[in-house]
Structure 1
Amino acid sequence: MRYKGLYHLFYQYNPKGAVWGNIVWAHSVSKDLVNWTPLNIAIYPSQPSDINGCWSGSATILPGGKPVILYTGIDPNNQQVQNLAYPKDLSDPYLKEWVKSQKNPLMAPTIANMINASSFRDPTTAWLGRDGHWRVLVGNKRGKIGQALLYRSKDFVNWVKAKHPLHSSKYTGMWECPDFFPVLKKGILGIETSVNDDNVRHVLKASLDDRKHDYYLIGSYNATKDNFIPDKDFDENIETVLRYDYGKYYASKTFFDDGNKRRVLLGWVNESSSVADDIKKGWSGIHAIPRAIWLHESGKQLVQWPVVEIEKLRENPVNWNTKVLKGGQLLQVNDITAAQADVEISFKINKIGDAEELNSWVDPQILCSQKGSSVRSGLGPFGLIVLASKGLQEYTSVFFRIFKYQNENLVLFCSDQSRSSLNKDNDLTTYGTFVDVDPLHEKLSLRSLIDHSVVESFGGDGKACITARVCPTLAINDGAQLYAFNNGTSSVKITSLSAWSMKKAQINGN
């Protein structure tokens, strides 16, 4: 959230180790979403309602600019319950101390409300209805039905469960970290969470515990009936439901940035390394670069783009003019700190007739695994090779590949980690998705933010995102190299390439 000109990031943290456990709310602040200063732990077990852990939740800004937090606590019976905390001193822009309501828990599972006590967590930011009542969602499941339970309150303390969830879906399992927010039908500006009029659509996002991915639905919110009607639902085919990110990205949360009138998305990126390696290095888990998000002009999907402030870390730019990249060609991008870089590249296709025929539909991640960067076809793979060691024993490739399928041109977007590390204890999964771009009439753009062990890639101007968590052993620091490549048989044109070395952000006081 943003308060008195400062951004506040609260996150799940184990102060006693690099593995999950002893969960508290850590707290960092920033003026720019890039450089962060840690503060003391904000919320930690101290009441019966959270004595066994303070789990995820959300901040809400009440009228008058007063922030409050709803969060999940684990009680002495290991039941999941919802609690309230508020700042001790509103004049403190750092909000260093938080006080818990004496009425906690405010929401609890009972036999009467038929809530599964082990699957009742992660309250959202609340929104205010026209009737003056607050509404909040809590993630839940009943059997295999995932659902967003709805609660209402007049005073933010006394909450009553609605008869029906805001939305539910069969066979999806537990909905963790739900999020619900409006987006403008036109334009890239964000809007406050309680806005609901003819100019907006609504987004419902769920982190599916069974799949460990963040899925979102775009639809209409009926405020009178308090239900959400998606344009396309989970029940139709979960593989066609949109995701924020097709790599390692989970438990995300948005907030409205009132200072810059944008909606900002924050996500957690888990490790690819083994637990033993995490313990050895002493930490695990990172936050992705904050992303601004808005509804694409087609209305069919969201667009995501790194917040503009990250560009303040750019230095020593390298720019290429138009270059033809022949089949099998590899061009090194020199004069860049390749282990810590921001790269934007655009391609143009001339001969779509060389595209490979796709005879039947294949899951794009499987397709990326079967046809990695070393498998040649007519149009592709072409893109970037990042975090590459000097002999190419290690590298991560992010690329496009064009297919013909049922008289359409399909653009496959992949992030191939299969050769990212010589440490075979790492997760070397390859990720992929189709990106909604017409390769004949639109440029194929790719932006990758590279930061030692993480590669966040944005395809099609932010229509598709893939975050890779890689742990190279050779391609580290000065041992890392960066290339543009084309391993297809047909030439492609690089219409532009801009790359920057990235300065180090201040994180945790370093």
Structure 2
Amino acid sequence: MMYKGLYHLFYQYNPWGSIWGNIVWAHSVSKDLINWKALEPAIHGSEPFDINGVWSGSATILPGNRPAILYTGITANNVQVQNVAFPANLSDPYLQKWVKPVYNPIITPGPEMNISTFRDPTTAWWSGGHWNILVGSRRKHRGLVYLYRSRDFKTWTKAKHPLHSVSKTGMWECPDFFPVPTQGKHGLDTSTMGSNVKHVLKVSLDITRYEYYTIGKYDPIINRYFPDNAEIDGWNGLRYDYGNFYASKTFFDSEKGRRILWGWSNESWTPDVSAVKGWAGVQAIPRLLWLDPSGKQLLQWPVEEVERLRGNKVELKYHHLKPGNKFEIKGITPAQADIEVVFEIPSIEKAEVFDPKWVDPQDLCIRMGSSNRGGVGPFGLLALASDNLEEYTSVFFRVFKTQNNKHVVLMCSDSSSSSTEKILYRPTFGGFVDVDLSADKKISLRTLIDHSILENFGAGGKTCIVSRVYPNIAIMDKAHLHVFNNGSEAVIVEHLNAWSMKRPRMNN
């Protein structure tokens, strides 16, 4: 949230170890979303209503610029309940002390509800003379979000029906519900309604450990949400990110009038290795989020503030990349870099035929890989690569054509060769990119590299993939960065900009 000129980030944290447990609400503040100062944790388990855990939740700015935190507490009897906390001193811009009212818990599960699947309250919105929040849950195998309403932010009543539910999706964690304008990149306060407004419902599925969202219409009169496209509701839904990205949350940045998305990228190491390392998990770079002009999906882009970390720059224009060739990007720090590249595809008619049975992009990326030559592609980047390519992570596109001469674009991030360490989880991730190549035959890629994490944004943020990688050889100044083309047709690097990235100030 934004409060008195400072961004406040609260996150799940174990102060006594790098494995899950002893969770508190850690608290950091920033003036620019990039450089951060760590404060003392905001909330510890201390009362009967949260003694066994203070789990995830949300912040809401109440009238009078009064912040409130809603969070899930685990009671002495291991029941999941919803609690509220308020700042002890509103004049303190750092909000260093928080108070839990004695009337907690404010919401408890009813007798018909599962006491162990009832968590993660959303930011509240004001509608119809009430505050409204959602709480994630499940009923047998049906995922759902319960809707609760209150006039005073103290006494809450459950609505007759869930706001939305989908069968066979399992537990819905970390729900998020917010408005987006039908035009423009600006964000909206969470309580905004209107004819030029759509709503987004995002849930994190505990079974798949991926996140899915839909865009639709919220009816505040009957308290129901209706996705525009019911066919992609659930496991077939759109995703913020097709890689290692979970438990995300958006907030409205009132200072700059934008909606910002935060997401958590977990480790690929085993918990015992993380315990030895002493740390685990990172927040991905915060992203600006807005509705695509088509209205069919959201677009995402790293916040503009990250560009302040850019240092030395190299630039390349109109480079012809022949089949089977690659070239190295020199003059920057490959282990910590920001790369923007536009590829032009002159022989797009040579794309291989797309099989309609290929419905899982991740499976397609695994089967085809970055070295299996196609017609148009694979082409893209080899990041965090060692001298002799014993290690590398490939980020690439592959273009197909359908029987009616439409194009299907596959985007992949393949970390199967990212490390010589064999015990690592080295997945391949993939997503389709909803882009029309018939007009200019071009597609763009932006990649942020920071030692153990790659954040990739395809086609201006239509498809995003985060990967965690841990090379043994290609580290620090021994890392290399290449542009490659393993397709049977040439591609053109129309424009490439790459920057060394400076270190932000973290936790000081």
Which bracket does the TM-score occupy, shorter chain normalised?
A: over 0.9
Instruction: Tell me, in whole angstroms, the C-alpha distance in 1 between the residues paired with 2:489 and 2:232.
Output: 38
Instruction: Identify the residue that residue 200 of structure 2 maps to in structure 1.
Output: 203
Instruction: Identify the residue that residue 250 of structure 1 maps to in structure 2.
Output: 246
Q: In structure 2, do the counterparts of structure 1 residues 239 and 488 end up closer, same or farther at CA, with 3 Å as the change threshold?
A: farther
Q: Could you report, residue by residue, the CA deviation over 1:70-121 in whole angstroms, capped at 9, with x for unpaired residues?
A: 000000110100000000000000000000011000001131xx11100000
Instruction: Identify the residue that residue 484 of structure 1 maps to in structure 2.
Output: 483
Identity value in percent: 57
Instruction: Tell me, in whole angstroms, the C-alpha distance in 1 between the residues paired with 2:182 and 2:408.
Output: 26
Q: Could you report, residue by residue, the CA deviation over 1:146-171 in whole angstroms, capped at 9, with x for unpaired residues?
A: 00100000000000011101100100
Q: Is the 8 A contact 1:232 1:241 kept in 2?
A: no
Instruction: Identify the residue that residue 504 of structure 1 maps to in structure 2.
Output: 503
Instruction: Tell me, in whole angstroms, the C-alpha distance in 2 between the residues paired with 1:483 and 1:361.
Output: 33
Q: Is the 8 A contact 2:166 2:234 kept in 1?
A: no
Q: Could you report, residue by residue, the CA deviation over 1:405-435 in whole angstroms, capped at 9, with x for unpaired residues?
A: 2322100000011101111111111000110
Q: Which one of the candidate residues 133, 151, 166 is aligned to 2:130? A: 133
Instruction: Tell me, in whole angstroms, the C-alpha distance in 2 between the residues paired with 1:68 and 1:384.
Output: 44
SS of alignment partner, residue 423 of structure 1: coil
Q: How does 1:13-32 map to 2 (within 5 A)?
A: 13-32=13-32
Q: Offset of 1:8 from its aligned partner?
A: 0.2
Instruction: Identify the residue that residue 419 of structure 2 maps to in structure 1.
Output: 421
Q: Which amino acid aligns with 2:238?
A: L
Instruction: Identify the residue that residue 34 of structure 1 maps to in structure 2.
Output: 34
Q: Which amino acid aligns with 2:257?
A: K
Instruction: Tell me, in whole angstroms, the C-alpha distance in 2 between the residues paired with 1:318 and 1:289.
Output: 22
Instruction: Tell me, in whole angstroms, the C-alpha distance in 2 between the residues paired with 1:360 and 1:60.
Output: 45
Q: Which one of the candidate residues 327, 339, 343 is aligned to 1:343? A: 339
Q: Could you report, residue by residue, the CA deviation over 1:366-395 in whole angstroms, capped at 9, with x for unpaired residues?
A: 000011111111100001110001110000
2:396 aligned with 1:399, yes or no?
yes
Q: Offset of 1:359 from its aligned partner?
A: 2.6
2:318 aligned with 1:319, yes or no?
no
Q: Which amino acid aligns with 2:186?
A: L
* TM-score, length of structure 1 as denominator length: 0.98
2:115 aligned with 1:120, yes or no?
no
2:349 aligned with 1:353, yes or no?
yes
Instruction: Identify the residue that residue 99 of structure 1 maps to in structure 2.
Output: 99
* TM-score, length of structure 2 as denominator length: 0.98
2:278 aligned with 1:279, yes or no?
no
Instruction: Tell me, in whole angstroms, the C-alpha distance in 2 between the residues paired with 1:406 and 1:433.
Output: 21
Q: Which amino acid aligns with 2:173?
A: E
Instruction: Tell me, in whole angstroms, the C-alpha distance in 2 between the residues paired with 1:79 and 1:254.
Output: 27
Q: Is the 8 A contact 2:82 2:106 kept in 1?
A: yes
Instruction: Identify the residue that residue 472 of structure 1 maps to in structure 2.
Output: 471
Q: Offset of 1:342 from its aligned partner?
A: 0.2
Q: In structure 2, do the counterparts of structure 1 residues 238 and 109 end up closer, same or farther at CA, with 3 Å as the change threshold?
A: closer
Q: Offset of 1:237 from its aligned partner?
A: 6.6
Instruction: Identify the residue that residue 459 of structure 1 maps to in structure 2.
Output: 458
Moved more, 306-315 or 402-411: 402-411
Instruction: Identify the residue that residue 77 of structure 1 maps to in structure 2.
Output: 77
Instruction: Tell me, in whole angstroms, the C-alpha distance in 2 between the residues paired with 1:387 and 1:126.
Output: 42
Instruction: Tell me, in whole angstroms, the C-alpha distance in 2 between the residues paired with 1:115 and 1:86.
Output: 28
SS of alignment partner, residue 381 of structure 1: strand
Give structure 2 stretches of 5+ with no counterpart: none
Instruction: Identify the residue that residue 435 of structure 2 maps to in structure 1.
Output: 437
Instruction: Tell me, in whole angstroms, the C-alpha distance in 2 between the residues paired with 1:236 and 1:207.
Output: 15
Q: How does 1:118-197 map to 2 (within 5 A)?
A: 118-129=116-127, 131-197=128-194
Q: Could you report, residue by residue, the CA deviation over 1:329-359 in whole angstroms, capped at 9, with x for unpaired residues?
A: 1110001100000000010111122111123
2:300 aligned with 1:289, yes or no?
no
Instruction: Tell me, in whole angstroms, the C-alpha distance in 2 between the residues paired with 1:80 and 1:90.
Output: 29
Q: Could you report, residue by residue, the CA deviation over 1:3-39 in whole angstroms, capped at 9, with x for unpaired residues?
A: 0000000000011111000010000000000011000
Instruction: Tell me, in whole angstroms, the C-alpha distance in 2 between the residues paired with 1:428 and 1:302.
Output: 28
Q: Is the 8 A contact 1:345 1:447 kept in 2?
A: yes
SS of alignment partner, residue 377 of structure 2: coil
Instruction: Tell me, in whole angstroms, the C-alpha distance in 2 between the residues paired with 1:425 and 1:164.
Output: 46
Instruction: Tell me, in whole angstroms, the C-alpha distance in 2 between the residues paired with 1:44 and 1:465.
Output: 34
Moved more, 359-368 or 342-351: 359-368
Indicate the RMSD between aligned Cα atoms, in angstroms.
0.9
Moved more, 402-411 or 143-152: 402-411
Give structure 1 stretches of 5+ with no counterpart: none
Instruction: Identify the residue that residue 386 of structure 1 maps to in structure 2.
Output: 383
Instruction: Tell me, in whole angstroms, the C-alpha distance in 2 between the residues paired with 1:502 and 1:448.
Output: 12
SS of alignment partner, residue 322 of structure 1: strand
Q: In structure 2, do the counterparts of structure 1 residues 198 and 237 end up closer, same or farther at CA, with 3 Å as the change threshold?
A: closer
Q: Is the 8 A contact 1:349 1:440 kept in 2?
A: no
Q: Could you report, residue by residue, the CA deviation over 1:244-280 in whole angstroms, capped at 9, with x for unpaired residues?
A: 0000000000000001100000000001111121111
Q: Is the 8 A contact 1:25 1:44 kept in 2?
A: yes
SS of alignment partner, residue 175 of structure 2: strand
Instruction: Tell me, in whole angstroms, the C-alpha distance in 1 between the residues paired with 2:455 and 2:175.
Output: 23
Aligned length, in residue pairs: 505
Q: Is the 8 A contact 2:410 2:433 kept in 1?
A: yes
SS of alignment partner, residue 279 of structure 1: helix
Q: Offset of 1:440 from its aligned partner?
A: 2.9
